[in-house]
Amino acid sequence: MPARGYNDAVMHSDRHDTWVVIAAYNEGAVIHDVVAGVKRAGWSVIVVDDGSGDDTAVHARAAGVTVVRHAINLGQGAALQTGIDFALRRGAHHIVTFDADGQHAVDDIPVLIAALADADLALGSRFLGSVEGASRQRMMLLRTAVLMSNRMSGLKLTDAHCGLRAFRATVAPRLRMTQNRMAHASELLRKTKTSGVRVVEVPCTVRYTEHSKRKGQGGFQAVRILFDYFFRAS
């Protein structure tokens, strides 16, 4: 349990020392509301528009946050790493990765940061928290992905590839992602294990909306991420 003093520091310190990195690809329909919610809570935000073919960048900028744009689509891993590098150059103390499609809850961010009192990396776990809008089949696939991930990474986690995570800037070099696309999530877990980064899981809420379901987010993708990293990545 994070120390009370650390919790108080998170509540009362300048939240600009924490940067929330949001990788976005063709999220024009929802990105403004997602980004505005994070900014309204007082966090510094960097959106990386990963070569979207829609008006994602326009809507993100309209929310009043910094936007960096990839000229072509490189993949979520590359977009997150671009955002992390940007945050580090701005002197971030903590970095949070947050989905662009509305699945994550802003209220979970301070809980993740507070958990860093006793860890280097805090991973959101929907199985310790709650899942909204998921079918039974999706939940079964997600649980299968957790079992596969634990076996392959050597970690013992309750969730895999939730996407909501926070870490100390000091461990960013050890967690640097080289997998440009979805395999970055498995790569990060493997590096967490091999580098000795202290990791803790934190309950979080994940909401599957009609928008995120249309984009294919869910259990099948979690299994595919594992396949891409452990069987395709060199």
Share of the chain above pLDDT 90, in %: 67
| Pairing state between β 165-168 and 44-50 | unpaired
Whole-angstrom distance, CA of residue 60 vs CA of residue 49: 9
In this prediction, residues 91-96 reach a mean pLDDT of 97
pLDDT, position 9: 46
The residue ranges of every structural domain in the chain are 4-232
Most confident of 25-29, 132-136, 151-155: 25-29
User: Residue 110 pLDDT more than 70?
Assistant: yes
User: Residue 40 pLDDT more than 80?
Assistant: yes
Share of the chain above pLDDT 70, in %: 85
pLDDT in tens, 45-92: 999 999 999 999 999 999 999 999 999 999 999 999 999 999 999 999
CATH homologous superfamily of 4-232 equals Spore Coat Polysaccharide Biosynthesis Protein SpsA; Chain A (3.90.550.10)
pTM of the model: 0.87
Per-residue 3-state assignment (H helix, E strand, C coil) for the chain: CCCHHHHHHHHHCCHHHEEEEEEECCCCCCHHHHHHHHHHCCCEEEEEEECCCCCHHHHHHHCCCEEEEECCCCCHHHHHHHHHHHHHHCCCCEEEECCCCCCECHHHHHHHHHHCCCCCEEEEEEEEEEEECCCHHHHHHHHHHHHHHHHHHCCCCCCCCCCCEEEEHHHHHHHCCCCCCCCHHHHHHHHHHHHCCCEEEEEEEEECCHHHHHCCCCHHHHHHHHHHHHHHCC
pLDDT in tens, 177-195: 998 777 788 889 999 999 9
Which contacts qualify for 111-116: CB closer than 8 Å, 24 or more apart?
Answer: 111/202, 111/203, 111/204, 112/164, 112/165, 112/166, 112/202, 112/204, 113/10, 113/18, 113/166, 114/2, 114/6, 114/7, 114/10, 115/2, 115/166, 115/200, 115/202, 116/2, 116/6, 116/166, 116/167, 116/168
pLDDT, position 170: 98
